[in-house]
Each structure stands twice: as C-alpha cells, then as structure tokens.
Structure 1
Amino acid sequence: MIDLRSVTAGLVGLVTISFVLFYVQYVWRRRKMPPGPFPLPILGNFLQLQSEGLVPSLVKMAKRFGPVYTLHFGSRPTVIVVGYQAVKEALVDLGDIFLDRGVIPVFEHFYNNSGLTLLNGENWKQLRQFSLLTLKDFGMGKKSIEEPLQVEAQHLVHYFRSSNRQPINPSTTLSCASSNIIARVLVGVRYDYTDEKWMKILQDLRDSFQIISSTWGQLFDMFPKIMIYLPGPHKRMFHLLQDLKEVVKESVRNHQEVLDPANPRDFIDCFLIRMKQEKLDAKAPFDMTNLIATVFDMFIAGAESTSVTLNFGVLHLIKYPEIQGKLHEEIDQVIGREREPSVDDRNQMPYMNAVIHEIQRVSDILPMGCIRSTTRDVTFHGYSIPKGTDVLPVLTTVLRDPSQFETPEEFNLKHFLDENEKFKKNNGFMPFAAGKRACIGESLVRMQLFIFFTTILQKFTLKSLVDPKDIDISPTESGIENIPPAHKMIFIPRE
C-alpha cells in the first residue's frame, strides 16, 4: 500500500531541492550582472511584467533598479537598457559589442531562424552589405525613387477622392500604399487597392501583429517550447502570415523561370544572381532560405511599420485640426495646390518636417526596440555582462526621455522646431534604432512619409466624426509593436 504522506513528503522535498538549486544557480550567475527582480523557476518575471502591461512594467522597473537591469523572460535572462544615454552607449558607443541579434522566438518561427533580421556574424555582415547596396541600386534614398512615391501618392489621392466625403477607415489602404513601394523594389510589382486577395493579406498581417503584441504573443516569446504545443490565439498569428509567405515563394519561383543575369529587374533577381555566383561557397548566406526570409521580412517592415506610422499620423491630424491648418498654409506657400510635392521641398518645409518627426516620436511604433546580444564579455555601467547575453534597448524610453524632450508625454512640435520656427534635430529621435544594426530602410521610410503626408494634405482636409478632443490615440495593444486604434474619418477635397 502506498504511503501518501511519504509520497507527499518526497515531492515537497524534490520541489524544495529544485528551488534551492535554482536559487544557487541564479545567485552564482547573477553575482556580477545588473540587478533586477527575483525570478521564479520557469516563470521568470512573467507575473511582475503582467501587473501593469509589458512596456509600462519595463519603464517602471527602471525607476527602481536604474537604467541597466536584468529580467528573466521565462528562464531566459535579459539585460534591459533604458533611457537615451544608456541606449546610445550600447547601440552606438559600444555598437560592435551589442551587435548580434538576440533570441526572438516569434520571428525565429516566422523566418525559420534565417534572413537579415536573425543572422549574426559574418553571414549577417555579407547579407546586410548586399541588401544595402542592392536597395540603393534600385533607388532607396535616391532621387530615382521619388517618381514611384509620387505615383503611389496620387493613387491615394484618387482613392480618397472617390470616397465622396463619406466616412472611411483608411487603415488597409495606407498599408497597401506602403507595401507597394517596397514591392516595387523587391519584386517589381504594384497591387491595386481593389485587389481583394492582397488587401486580405495586409489585414492578416495587421491582425498577426495585434496577437504578437498581446499577452498571448508575449507568452509565446517567454515560453516558446511550451506554447508551441498549447492551443490559443497565438497559434493563429502564424497562420495569418502563411499567405504572405506563399506570395513571396511564388514570386521567387517566377523570377527563377525568367531570370536574365545581364538585366536584373529587382532585389530578388539580384539575390538569385548572387546565389549562382556563391553556389560553391557552402558558408555564404546566399541561399533560398535566406532569400525568402529576407524578402518576407522586408515586406513586413515596408507594409506594416510604415503603414502604422501613417495611420497614427492621420489620427494625430484629425485630433489637432489647428496643426492641419498650419500645414495647409505651408504647403500652399512652398508648393501650391497643383505641383506634385518633391523630396527637395522638405528643406523648405520645417513645420511639416517637425510634424512628421513628432508623429514618429509619439507613435513609438516599436516601443521595445529589437533585442540584441553581446558579441563578447563586456563591463557596462559597472556590471559584467557575459558574451551571448540578450540585451533589450527599450526605444520608448529614448523617445520619451525628459533629458531630450521638454514634454515627452505630449505632442509638442517644439521638440523639433527652434525659437525661429526652423527645424532642429534631436539626439533622442531613435525610431529606427541606431548603430550598425539600425533599420535598413530608414531613408526610404523618411521619403515615403514626407511625400504621402504632404500630398494628402495638399489635396484634402481630414475631418473627424467626433469632437477632436474626444479622440483617443492610445494603442490598442503595446508589445513588440504599438497597434493604432481604428477610426473613420472624412477626406474633404481642398478646392
């Protein structure tokens, strides 16, 4: 007969020994690392992070432990870096040490642990250099990309004019416009706003990031080996991206069939040509897996991140009609009502430039930044951080650092305008991160935001359906990405 008391005592003893061993290992591993809240076995600091939401909890803990502290995402220790000064030191001053990509379970599953986002070391350097040069060859950051931007902006004008002053939610249309710019460079195509299949893919992309930024997505990020087998909404975030992945795969197959090495048409062609050149080098990153993952990643960045900024932007414009009025005056003075806006106009339009920068700052679309990993042992702020340790630079604390921004929680154009109403730069403006691993498409995004916002406001007045004071622009989810709320608005033509 089983003695239940003996079994219970044995289980209690086993749990106690496990806890003691965990504590000893934790103390030994953490003896020289940055301080932080005590983690529970398996759960880590999950419960503390959920008390007020992930991002607010990260900010609040910095007030207790300082700008550099340690958290456990599940059993994974991660150094959290907060505030302009500490983030700048990590990403810029010591950029080569904090250069590797850290663990991102969600994206590792999406990208099959490959592609520009996730690679490290020499493979990452080769792939990044190739991607930068190739994107520049197809106009990124150059005058030659201006015409496609202007054409796409006119498509937006036509679409908004066709709404006939009826309330619409421009979210998916702005996402399609954003995706078309990067699609031209990557695969040489443009999608119409009435293309139901493509619009569904973009909506699925938005829905996927909604889940990724929710508690379910955070659970998967902390406990991937467990969550992958459990039912729940997190399962859907992978399914939602499958159609986009199939589009990328199909496009690659089509490019292979008609590839002309002497006349590359876009990024995929260039990558396929490089694959043939490097086919004898087994260590080179130019293979089919990295091609699909890289194009997939760039599509997500081009379609999602830029469109989120545009969506937050139009919400700010209807919330602050007085800002719209001043923008209309500047546009009329510098460009007029008929000539298409040009990137060169940006230097003559300090108010528009400041508005776009402040929209990016307040929208804060990637509040947690993107996780890094140390390439070697390093002493940082007096603490020892071992090689291979995950490091999270929390970008929201840079964009809202009171040492850089006078009223960090408010929409304030003085952050980017001097006393003479001239545009001024601000060191705390890091929506694209910083250093060698900063966003590869930063120059294209800057051009795109300027052309789109300026063209829309040249032709329309954006009007809210409710009192502007009642508009809430707070994100519906805040995790990996800040998700903008859905709002309908009216596009009134400026006659």
Structure 2
Amino acid sequence: MLYELLTLGNSILILFFVLCLVILFQVTRRSADLPPGPKPWIPFIGNLLDIRGGDQRIPFRKWRKKYGDIYSVYFGNKLAVVISGYENIKEAYLKNGDIFSERPDLYVFTGIGRKQGIAATSGHLWKEQRSFVLKALREFGFGKTSIEKKIEEEISPLLQALCEFKGEPLDIESMIKISVANIICNMTFGHRFDYDNEEFLYLFKLIDESLKVLGSNSVLNIYPILRFIPFDPFKIEKVQQNTFIVEDFLSKVIRQHKQNFDQNNVADFTDSYLKEMRKHCDNPDTPYTDEQLLKIILDFMAGGTLTTSTTLLWAILYLMKFPEVQERMHNEIDSVIGKQRLPTITDRSSLVYTEAVIMETLRFANVAGLGFPHGLSRETYFHGYKIPKEAIIIGNLDSVLNDPLIWKNPEQFEPSRFIDDSGALIRPDELIPFSIGE
C-alpha cells in the first residue's frame, strides 16, 4: 500500500513537472505570425528583467538593432509590440489611427483613470472628448497670441520670486512646476495661485507623489492583483487617497463654476465644458458629465504640468552645461527684445536660434522616449505580422529622436541642426517629442 502511494505521488510530481514544462514552452514560444523579439526569461516574468533599472531606452535600442523596426517583447504574460522609425509610427498612429488609437488593458487606465478623461479613454468617447478639448483650448488662445496675457500673468511673479533669492541656492524645480501649473489652471478654471498658497502646494505635492509611485510601480500594470498585498507595499492606497483629495478640490471648483455659470460669458475651459453639458442634458447617455470634466482637468494638471516642467528643467540644465549655447541665445534675445519688456509670440520669427534651442531640447531630452502605450480596436496585420487585439503597442519615439539617419551626431546637443545655411529655421516632421496622432 505504501509503495503504491509513493508511486502515485511520484507520478503526480512527474506530471506536475511535465505540465510546468509545457506551460513554459507555450508561454515562451513565439508564434511565426508575431514580430520577432527576445525570448522571455521565464513564464509570468517575460522580458521585465531586461528593462529593470537604469535607462530603459537602452534595451529597446539593442532589440531594434537585432530584430528590426518592428519586434515584440513580453511584459509578464502581456505581449507588447514595439514600432520603431518615423514612417512606421506615422503609418500606425496616423494612417491606421482607427485601429491603433485604443488604450490597452493596464491598471493605470482601468483602475486609476477609471477609463475616463482623455488619457484613459478609448474609441468613440476618446475621439469625441479629444475633439472638443482641442476646439475649446483653441478658443481660449492655445497656440495663439491671445494666450500671452495668461503667460505674462505668471512670468512676472516667477521672476519676482527668483529675484528674491539674490544668487542663493533655490529649489527651481518646484517653482517651475508651480508656474506651469498656474498657467494651466488659469486656462482651465480661470484662477492662479500664489507661490506660498499652502493648499495649492499640497495638491501638487500629492499629484507629483502619485505620478512617481505609478512610474516606479509599473509592474502593477502587468499584475494588478498585487495591489491586494497586505500593508500596501506598492503604495496604491496612498495614490488612491491622493487622487480622492485632488478630485475633491476639483469637484469644488466645478460646483463653484456651476453656481456662477453664464453661458453668454464663457471665461475658461470649465465654462466651455459646462456649456457643452447643457447641450446634451436631455441625453441620458451623454459623455459630457461632471466626472468626465473632473478627469479631463486632472489630466491637464498632471500630464500638462509634468511634461512641460520636465522639458523646461532639462532646458535649464543644458544651458548650464553648454555655456556657449546660453551666451548665443542670450545675445539673440537682447538684440531682438532688449531688457525693457517681456518677449511676445510676435518675436518668435526673429528668435531663430532661441527657437532652435527649444527644438533641440525637445529632441535631446526625449522626456517621453517610449511614448504613451496604445492598444488595438481589433486584431490586425502590420507589415506582414499578425498582432492580436490584446497586445500593448509601443511607439518607440526614441528610435526617431535619436536616429542617426535623421539627425547627424544625435548624441550631441546641437541647436544649429535646426537652422539652414540661409539662417532660416528648419522644422522637421520627425521632431515628435510627444508622439503623433495621440
């Protein structure tokens, strides 16, 4: 009897071992229809160990060199297809935008974003909301000279705050973030905050803290079940608490706008959205809701502040590192504007080198190197490869911004690459620091 039990136990153990080998083979094998790519390390881990720590762009550069412009990797058990090269990204995101404009099934979109706002939405909702947002922002001067007043309102307090340090060390990062955030808040709900406003500083501390937590814990996008581990090691409860506090503040802003709303006097983006909400108030399935507005404003505050302030901080660093660039830029500004007034958008065409420095900063800093993750609306074929609907799509912007076939000596900071022999500014289509067709 004991012998039979031992034999049965060994058989079960062998069967379990064989089953594990079969699973390992199935998970790590790559279908011939899929783009090529590195072999996953082990099941449920995939290629995550290849991108842990350091500059995450490095392994993607190595993979592109080995497997070509289109390859696949595994983040855990999630398949990701990486698209490199300007023409390929353009083909996917612009020419085939109806297929490649979805959001993938990641916790940051489904759990944190709740599939609302702009960043976390997909399909028709995303298209409709994005279209309205762009139209409304243009009406309030985004990209036009009429936005100058809002920027000037923020520049003067920033310069005054900087002058108060009189050459002493200062935390310029927080000041830049607050300045950028104020411009966004001014356009969004018509209000700016003083640099010592404790509530405002606290709110952006919470937003910044949450973004850092989500950025460092991207593993939760692959294994969302980890958020249920006791004692909250990934600080997801903290992110949710922070989000609740910020959303409570924004809810108060929306309520105040509703109380004072005058559809004949639309003063900011929130007013514009409220006006649109009234147009759809008889539709029970309207996408224009308080919660949708709240999430859009939060997207503005978090995403807009982060990308703009990070780029500005890199620009300051590069001007410190390359004093010859700083001197030439300073001389151009003095010769065109002088020292008695602030620059205006009308000066832009005369500040060729300054514009070139900005463009080179966007290229060189490469703050969104792997772009924003996309998903698919359906299974599709791309360049002969079969890509399943559930795949994560990564538009590798780093492959464009650091492509030696596009930019001579891409590893060097050279603003002059954007100026032709006649002294005119060059605006290459390949300068896509924040992607295309998002």
For structure 1, which runs of at least 5 residues remain unmatched after alignment?
438-495
- The correspondence for 2:382, drawn from 380, 383, 396, is 380
Residue 100 (structure 1) aligns with: 102
Counterparts of 1:145 and 1:310 in 2: how far apart (Å)?
18
Are residues 153 and 12 of structure 1, via their aligned partners in 2, closer, same or farther at CA, if it must alter by over 3 Å? farther
Cross-structure match for 1:226: 226
Match of 1:205 among 204, 207, 211: 207
Match of 1:300 among 294, 299, 302: 302
Counterpart CA distance in 2 for 1:41 and 1:52 is 23
Q: Deviations over 1:289-321 (max 9, x none)?
A: 212111111111222111111111111111122
Residue 360 (structure 1) shift? 1.3
Moved more, 288-297 or 33-42: 33-42
State the AA in 2 paired with 1:49. I
One-letter code aligned to 1:407: N
Moved over 6 A (4+): none
Compute the TM-score of the two structures, normalised by the length of structure 1: 0.81
What secondary structure does 1:96 align onto? helix
- Contact 2:47–2:75 (Cα < 8 Å) also in 1: yes
User: In 2, Cα distance between the equivalents of 1:339 and 1:51?
Assistant: 46
Deviates further, 97-106 or 352-361? 97-106
Structural mapping, 1:260-339, within 5 Å: 260-339=262-341
The alignment partner of 2:99 has SS state of coil
- Residue by residue, what CA displacement relative to the aligned partner does 1:88-143 show, whole Å, maximum 9, x if unpaired? 22223333332222233224322222111222222222111111111112221222
| Higher mean displacement: 339-348 or 198-207 | 198-207
1:43-85 deviations in whole A, cap 9, x for unaligned?
2222233276533222222222211111122221111112323
Query: In the aligned structure 2, how far is the partner of 1:268 from the partner of 1:406?
Result: 45
- Give the SS at the match of 2:272: helix
Does the 8 A contact of 1:354 with 1:416 survive in 2?
yes
Matched position secondary structure for 1:79 = strand
The whole-number CA distance in structure 1 between the counterparts of 2:370 and 2:168 is 37
Q: Secondary structure at the match of 2:98?
A: coil
Name the structure 2 match of 1:34: 35
Q: Is the 8 A contact 1:176 1:193 kept in 2?
A: yes
Alignment correspondent of 1:192: 194
Query: Following TM superposition, by how much is the alpha carbon of 1:407 offset from its aligned partner in structure 2, in angstroms?
Result: 1.4
Partner residue, 1:166 = 168
Give the counterpart letter for 1:38 in structure 2: K
Does the 8 Å CA contact 1:334/1:348 hold for their aligned counterparts? Answer: yes
| 1:317 and 1:324 in contact (8 A); partners too | yes
> What corresponds to 2:118 in structure 1?
116
Matches within 5 A, 1:118-133: 118-133=120-135
Aligned to 2:403: 401
Query: Structure 1, residues 240-266: CA drift from partner, whole Å, max 9, x if none?
Result: 444322221221222233323333332
CA distance in 1, matches of 2:99, 2:331: 47
The CA distance in 2 between the partners of 1:241 and 1:57, in whole Å, is 33
C-alpha distance in 2, partners of 1:315/1:51? Answer: 23
Take 1:15 and 1:345, find their aligned partners in 2: how far apart are those partners?
71
The answer to whether the Cα contact below 8 Å between 2:184 and 2:301 also exists between their aligned partners in 1 is yes
Change (3 A) 1:281 1:308: same
Number of aligned residues: 433
Aligned to 1:347: 349
Equivalents in 1 of 2:435, 2:19: separation in Å?
A: 43
CA contact (8 A) 2:27 2:77 kept: no
Tell me if structure 1 keeps the 8 A contact 2:106–2:222: no
SS at match of 2:124: helix
RMSD: 2.4
What are the superposed Cα offsets for residues 448-475 of structure 1, whole Å, 9 maximum, x if unpaired?
xxxxxxxxxxxxxxxxxxxxxxxxxxxx
Counterpart CA distance in 1 for 2:421 and 2:400 is: 23
Cα distance in 1 for partners of 2:213, 2:417 equals: 33
Q: TM-score, normalised by structure 2?
A: 0.91
Q: Percent identity?
A: 28
SS in 2 for 1:393: strand
- The range that moved more, 178-187 or 276-285, is 276-285
Q: For 1:78 and 1:384, how far apart are their aligned partners in 2?
A: 13
Post-superposition offset of 1:425: 1.4
